[in-house]
Chain A
Amino acid sequence: MEHPILALGLGLLVIVVLAWAFWPKKGLFARMGKVRNSSRRVLLEDTLKYLFDCEYKGNTCDLNSVAGNLNISADQMARLLAHLRDMGLVVFQEQNIRLTDTGKSYALRIVRVHRIWERFLADETGVEQMDWHGEADIREHQLSMEDANRIAARIGNPAFDPHGDPIPTKDGKIPPFSGKTLNSLKEGEVAQIVHIEDEPHYIFEQLSAQGLYPGMQVYLLDVQEGKVTFAADGNECVLTPLFASAITVQPLPKAKPIQEGYQTLSDLEVDETATVVGISSYCRGLQRRRLMDFGIVPGNTITAEIQSASGDPVGYRILGTTIAIRKNQADLIFINNIKKEHHEQSA
């Protein structure tokens, strides 16, 4: 009490220390978690996963590429690989490293847990999109196969993770890799965007700015030299082959192409009416079910009715009730046929 400055300093110090310890992602405890996560077993499993990914996509991989991917030195990697060979999980063929059958099924188990967890995060929790992959990278080493199977059963045994990659079955089956680059598709083919290359950055930025993202359906309209024309979820896009080659797609031979283009619900002005086309695949889980429960399904008519005093949210009339929807949700709802609503003037 006689030294308020001392007390104040002490108080501030305590707060700083606590913040340093518990700060999410960068704090002491978060860092300790990360260190625990780079144990030897985790490195072994990550190596197997990477080798599997190379083989699945038909690439070859050598010591340096594995080491680079795991961000460890080549020496360390060589020791890890020797260990894996002793365990009978990999074999060396000259420069190439290949998985044995046991190694492959081990890798598939990890891939299954990883993708189920991603799907679980996307559908059942509020974890943000950017964090799905990172969280699953940690969980894949902790979750047992039985737990993963239980989670899968609870969310309806999904066949794909939220990025569009197939989830291996319990007995380790996975469809053969059939991803192609967008520019290798033929006219009239339907496919789904499964991956957008994030290097080099200017291409990625350009593609994001055009509103292209994994999960969108593409329908090839016209392929010419120097120009690829396609409909992405019904909206026409044109790209040069260089840009198109940064997009990996998965052909969907049995899917129907989405024909109509659309605008988003947030484009609707007050007193305008439109028809609902669908909900973006960005909007998942609870939120998606809730919107569908309100009647936001293809074919229904929706009218923008009132705007709140602060501009967002907006009240929309659908199936006879007025529902307020925030702008960030309205951005993910697709509509077409925008018309001005005609009111009968009442005296």
Chain B
Amino acid sequence: MMEQKNKQVNEEILGMANNLKWELGMDTHDSIVSSLYADAAQIARKTVSMDGDRPSFSMERKIDKVVTSRMLGFPIMFVLLALVFWITISGANYPSGLLASLLVDTLHPLLKNAADSVMPWWLSGVFVDGAYLAMAWVIAVMLPPMAIFFPLFTLLEDLGYLPRVAFNMDSLFRKAGAHGKQALTMSMGFGCNAAGVIAARVIDSPRERLIAIITNNFSLCNGRWPTQILIATIFIGGMVTPFWAGIVSTGAVVGVAVLGIVFSLIVSWGLSKSVLKGEASTFSLELPPYRPPRILQTLYTSLIDRTLFVLWRAVVFAIPAGIVIWLVSNITIGDLSLAEHFIDWSNPFAVVFGLNGVILLAYIIAIPANEIVIPTILMLTVLVTGMAGVGEGSGVMFELDSISSTEGILREGGWTLLTGINLMLFSLLHNPCSTTIYTIYKETKSAKWTAVATFLPIVLGFVVCFFTAQLWYLFF
């Protein structure tokens, strides 16, 4: 009885509330919220006293006027970013070589000898030639540039300059349906795509954040720079006189990187107009005050949070890849190894795309890290062509000190200028490495968007390679 009455009263109240809502118009909720904010602001104005503008404020405005000016804004930005890349590439050269000679040239034979004396050849092959070598390679190639690039980048961020870059770049990204901060995640992607994907957290709008995550792979990461530089030097630099070779091959690598930026803008635009159309979108960008960077803290957080975190994920994925690489080149069916079977079978298919079976297999088994693509390609080429006296045996990845001997191996493997160009294109446009794929899944919590981010670039890569190859066959 009582309950029934309560229910009746409840319904009456709800009905009355609804009638009142209808009489007050559609913005009631909004005006309540804004009057709350307005009251709070008014109370704050009365009771909180502020000491004028901080003395640094006018200084800050002067800096802002320069770095966001029409004349100087963009040049300053390009010079600073170019400087960061230059320091990274030239600074990483020496420690990378040192690590490689330590981990690959010195430690690997030692370990191999030690392992051979206690275990059968295939077990030492799996562990030392496969797992250890892949890990050593990833560390040697990946660690030095990341340990330089990330702290530099974090310093610029801490200084307050990076938000100004996003601010200046926003109008370009707005036209592509993206957020200005994507300029930052893209730059971060030039260091490492996994780190770039994590960096997309700074974009608080759901749609623009997904766009930034999905297109980050179009930033040529530092695992792919060495491939680009090597192939450009051999095949594109080789076309012209030695005097021009350096400039032309550098131009080709920069061209591929710029092509990546163009693709990322076009794909951003396409995504925002199609599959991501309905995702909620908002724009906001805080421009924090400049402050002196906290150097030690920056070093610590960028090394721990970014460098080691990403390196750890890469190593975890590289170890099984190393094992697989060793196994496919050592397990034989009939006279041929698994690798050779696959390469023979996929060659006709690969030629349609101006590539070859070795490249396809290398990109499949080296999904965990772009760093080991070139060593894998060299090893597989030697395996397939049966060259004597080069490399260290099937399943053992290697690199050569001289570019001309690398060229010799590749030419022996039937590589042409077209193969070189298409490898450069394919290295830009293929699925992200498994570390990045895993990171994308962690960040989006969605199998669907992870799949889009994985397959979109590789489909694009095959399309671009196909048309390049067929046009090439048509004209040459």
Contacts and interface: CB of A to CB of B under 8 A. Distances in A.
Interface in A258-316: 278, 281, 285-288, 290-292, 294-295, 297-300, 305-313, 315
Contacts of B172: 310
A126 B281 contact: yes
Contacts of B470: 4, 7-8, 11
B2 interface: no
A181 interface: no
Interface stretch (B36-44, B135-143, B385-393, B427-435): B36-44
B15 A173 contact: yes
Contact of A166 (B22, B55, B279, B284): B22
A248 interface: no
A174 to B, nearest CB: 9
B290 to A, nearest CB: 11
B68 A325 contact: no
Nearest to A312: B171
B411 interface: no
B274 interface: yes
A127 B276 CA distance: 10
Contacts of A329: 283
A311 to B, nearest CB: 7
Given A309-B73, A311-B171, A323-B284, A299 B41 contact: yes
A4 B466 CA distance: 10
Contact of A292 (B19, B37, B168): B37
Contact of B280 (A126, A217, A252): A126
A316 to B, nearest CB: 9
Given A126-B207, A290-B284, A254 B23 contact: yes
A164 interface: yes
Tell me the interface secondary structure of chain B in the complex. helix
B286 to A, nearest CB: 6
B168 A343 contact: no
A315 B287 contact: yes
B284 A278 contact: no
Contact of A324 (B65, B69, B287): B287
B278 A125 contact: yes
Contact of A8 (B70, B174, B467): B467
Given A299-B42, A305-B61, A322-B287, A175 B22 contact: yes
Q: Max chain B CB contacts within 10 Å: which of A126, A281, A343?
A: A126
B26 A322 contact: no
Given A156-B29, A309-B168, A312-B171, A324 B285 contact: yes
A300 B474 contact: no
Interface in A210-238: 215, 217
Contact of A323 (B23, B74, B180, B285): B285
A303 to B, nearest CB: 11
A324 B466 contact: no
Contact of A308 (B23, B68, B204): B68
A280 B207 CA distance: 22
Nearest to A270: B65
B274 A160 contact: no
A11 B466 CA distance: 8
B38 A298 contact: yes
A254 to B, nearest CB: 5
A344 to B, nearest CB: 8
Interface residues of B, number: 65
B25 interface: yes
A299 B283 contact: no
A215 B207 CA distance: 27
Interface string A237-256: 00000000000001011110
A164 B473 CA distance: 62
B118 interface: no
Given A308-B73, A308-B168, A192 B41 contact: no
Contacts of A313: 167, 170-171, 180, 283, 285
A24 interface: yes
B170 A308 contact: yes
B1 interface: no
B27 interface: yes
A323 B287 contact: yes
Interface string A1-22: 1001101100100010000000
Contacts of A319: 41
A4 B285 contact: no
Nearest to A297: B37
Contacts of B278: 121, 125-127
Contacts of A76: none
Contacts of B68: 306-309
B113 interface: no
B171 A1 contact: no
Contact of A297 (B23, B34, B73): B34
Contacts of B25: 160, 164, 192, 217, 250, 252, 255
Q: Max chain A CB contacts within 10 Å: which of B69, B280, B289, B474?
A: B280
Contact of A310 (B61, B168, B205): B168
B21 interface: yes
B58 interface: yes
Given A292-B37, A298-B34, A309-B74, A11 B171 contact: no
Interface in B255-289: 273-274, 277-289
Contact of B171 (A126, A127, A166, A310): A310
Contacts of B30: 281, 288
A75 interface: no
Contact of B26 (A160, A288, A298, A320): A160
B344 to A, nearest CB: 17
B60 to A, nearest CB: 9
Nearest to A283: B282
Contacts of A156: 29
Interface in B125-171: 167-168, 170-171
Interface string B187-209: 00000000000000000110100
B34 A278 contact: yes
Nearest to A162: B26
A281 B26 contact: yes
Contacts of A253: 23
Nearest to A5: B474
A278 B425 CA distance: 51
A346 interface: yes
Interface string B314-358: 000000000000000000000000000000000000011000000
Given A159-B21, A315-B167, 19 more contacts: A4-B471, A7-B470, A126-B278, A156-B29, A281-B27, A287-B282, A291-B284, A298-B35, A308-B68, A308-B168, A309-B74, A310-B168, A312-B174, A313-B170, A321-B286, A321-B288, A324-B167, A326-B170, A326-B283
5 contacts: A8-B474, A11-B470, A128-B277, A160-B22, A313-B167
Interface of B: 15, 18-19, 21-30, 33-35, 37-38, 41-42, 50, 55, 58, 61, 64-65, 68-70, 73-74, 167-168, 170-172, 174, 180, 204-205, 207, 273-274, 277-289, 351-352, 463, 466-467, 470-471, 473-474
Interface of A: 1, 4-5, 7-8, 11, 15, 24, 121, 124-128, 156, 159-160, 164, 166, 169, 173, 175, 192, 215, 217, 250, 252-255, 278, 281, 285-288, 290-292, 294-295, 297-300, 305-313, 315, 319-326, 329, 343, 346
